[in-house]
Amino acid sequence: MRISPEMITIDCADPQALAAWWAEALGVEEVQDYDAFVVLAATPLVLGFQRVPEPGKNRVHVDFASPDRPADVERLAKLGATVVGEQSMQGMSWTVLKDPEGNEFCLADAGGH
């Protein structure tokens, strides 16, 4: 038997606000709001946003891909993301960003890994 990924959960202070930001960034609709837990269906990935009392902890990050990384980095920055830096290795390139609550995520060139 094999396990398979179902959802990535991001700890945050304000699940509704952060889920709304990610919904706009990913172009998806909010699916379910349980007050302290909000779920987005960002096919094929499901994202959960869970309220936690500790600020600034980042125990997981999500990697995304884009067919036009520079344009999407610009779009995400206009939505409130912060560009942390650019990285590359062995034919792969990506941008490290932070969402409005400081959670890091990466945006790579599509097909680059």
Give the residues across from 107 on adjacent strands: 64, 95
pTM (2 decimals)? 0.77
* Residue 29 contacts residue 20 (beta carbons within 8 Å): no
Pair of tokens at residue 105: 């995520």
Give residue 4's pLDDT band: very low, low, confident or very high (50, 70, 90): low
**Residue 1's pLDDT is what?**
61
Identify the three-state secondary structure at position 110. Answer: coil
Average pLDDT, the chain: 86
Residues linked to residue 51 through DSSP beta bridges, in sequence order: 12
Q: How many CA atoms lie within 13 A of 91 on its CB side?
A: 4
The reported pLDDT for the residue numbered 95 is 94
Across 4-10, average pLDDT: 79
Rounded average pLDDT over 31-38: 89
